[in-house]
Amino acid sequence: MKRWFALLIAAVAAAPAAAQTQPACPALLQHTVNRLQDDKPQALCQYSGKVLLVVNTASQCGYTPQYQGLEALHAKYAAQGLVVMGFPANDFGGQEPGDAKKIAETCFNFYGVQFPMFNKISVVGAGTHPLYASLAKATGKTPQWNFHKYLVDRQGVVVASFASDVAPEDKRIVGQLEKLLRAR
């Protein structure tokens, strides 16, 4: 009985240490951004351990049909750990002038977006959201237009940046994405 009790005490004492071995939220994801559909705050740390494709979007851009390719990636790879993250921005050509309701209509109703979409932010300039400042610092590349894409590995390390004219289904994105999804 004493041995069993000693083992139980040791197990309870070890539990906090085991909990501490869980990976911490990477610095890149230590932000809270409101969701587009309901304006509720979302901690980006919930995506720790996932492969991320972070995209600044706009509803009235020539690249807006890329929502279809982004959604196709989401549908194909979400079960393997991909999270596509959309961040509407009105920084280029005033191509995202609407409010959250109008943006949500375009994303969810017209393009059938199922991946996480967040409220409008700024991705360049003095008011750049800290997430985008970190992405730009890590790659040395700031978005030059809407639908710029950053690929982030499971450890929260930014591994690639793709210009707006690189479609989501482009082999350069898909190849790196699949490689990251295979890595654990």
Give me the pLDDT at residue 131, please: 97
Which three-class secondary structure state does DSSP give residue 139?
Answer: helix
Question: pLDDT at position 5, please?
Answer: 42
CA-CA-CA-CA torsion sign (94, 98, 99, 100): negative
Residues with catalytic annotation?
A: 61
CATH topology of domain 23-182: Glutaredoxin (3.40.30)
Cβ atoms 56, 87 nearer than 8 A: yes
Q: Which of 28-32, 72-76, 158-162, 180-184 has the lowest mean pLDDT?
A: 180-184
Indicate the pTM of the whole model.
0.87
Residue 13: pLDDT band with limits 50, 70, 90: low
Q: Please return the burial class of 106, using the count of CB atoms within 10 Å of its CB with bins 0-12, 13-18 and 19+.
A: buried
69: its two tokens: 């390719």
Between the CA of residue 183 and those of 62, 79, 84, what are the distances in Å? 34, 14, 18
CA dihedral over 160, 164, 170, 171, signed as positive or negative: negative
pLDDT value of position 17? 45
Percent of the chain clearing pLDDT 70 (strictly above): 88
